[in-house]
Amino acid sequence: MKCYAFLGIQGSGKGTQADKLSSFLGFKHINIGDLLRINIKLQTPIGIEANKIIQKGELVSDEMVFSLIDATTGITEKGIIFDGFPRTIAQAENLLNEYNLLQVFYLDLNEQSAIERISARRICPNCHENYNMFSQPPIVIGFCDKCNIRLEIRQDDKPNAMHKRFEQFYNQTQPLTKLFESHGLLTVVNASQPVENIFEQILAVIKRFDNE
Ligand code: AMP
């Protein structure tokens, strides 16, 4: 199965770019964090276990991640856009061994900018739509455009959990860029640019794979 993956620190805009690319290519967008939040809301066994881990800002197990991916992908998929996967070496090896990985986009953003973006992030507890109070505000401040429910700060966007997540990112995820680079599969994009400029650079890269 063809796929692209997005790596980057929290707040680097992986979700936004993955969403745009999946619409453009007609590929399925898989965001593990969103799948976990749906499970938490539905209080499934996975959700109950994941909730405690996520609130502490830690990573859930590789096995849990693989089973979520298996449960959401089918053979009829045209391709997959992974967003926030891989985050560990075992996940990176799974991606290299089990998929036709065309390219990994590393959205490069410094920590200070990431903190500013995350602090402005809000989520609808009902439909999980993401907002940013500066760059993507809701029509009525503080309320979801679709559900009219009060927006919340994600538990794991609160300072303690956020710093733990940064630590995980630097220790486990950022080093994966070297692995993908050694396979000739890495594109680094400056994530402090406007959304459309970033997307143009991504499109310029994926044109190479039109016929694959
Ligand atoms: P995110 O919305 O991508 O920031 O993910 C929220 C949380 O879900 C993370 O802090 C982790 O606890 C968990 N998570 C998301 N993706 C992964 C992954 N690939 N591996 C392990 N845990 C993950």
The token duo for 61 is: 């197990």
The token duo for 84 is: 């926030």
Cα separation, 21 vs 102, in Å, equals: 13
The token duo for 187 is: 């594109």
Contact 56, 164 (CB under 8 A): yes
Ligand 1 interacting residues, C-beta cut-off 6 A: 10, 32-33, 36, 53-54, 58-60, 65, 84-85, 87, 91, 156, 165
> What is the distance, to the nearest Å, from the Cα of residue 34 to the centroid of all Cα atoms in its chain?
9
pLDDT by residue, tens only, the chain of 212 residues: 999 999 999 999 999 999 999 999 999 999 999 899 889 989 999 999 999 998 888 899 999 999 999 998 877 789 999 999 999 999 999 999 999 999 999 999 999 999 999 999 999 988 888 898 988 899 999 999 999 999 999 888 888 888 989 999 999 999 999 999 999 999 999 999 999 999 999 999 999 887 66
Mark whether 117 is an active-site residue: no
Question: What is the Å distance from ligand 1's center to 211 Cα?
Answer: 32
Cα separation, 33 vs 25, in Å, equals: 22
3-class secondary-structure state, position 26: coil
Mark whether 87 is an active-site residue: yes
Mark whether 122 is an active-site residue: no
pLDDT of residue 212: 67
Choosing from 37, 87, 117, 122, which is the catalytic residue? Answer: 87
- Please report the beta strands in the chain, taking only residues with DSSP state E, as ranges in sequence order: 2-8, 28-31, 80-83, 100-108, 121-123, 130-132, 186-190
pLDDT of residue 199: 98
Cα separation, 101 vs 95, in Å, equals: 7
Mark whether 37 is an active-site residue: no
What sign results for the dihedral spanned by CA atoms 85, 89, 91, 95? positive
Choosing from 14, 28, 117, 122, which is the catalytic residue? Answer: 14
Question: What is the Å distance from ligand 1's center to 36 Cα?
Answer: 8
Cα separation, 198 vs 28, in Å, equals: 20
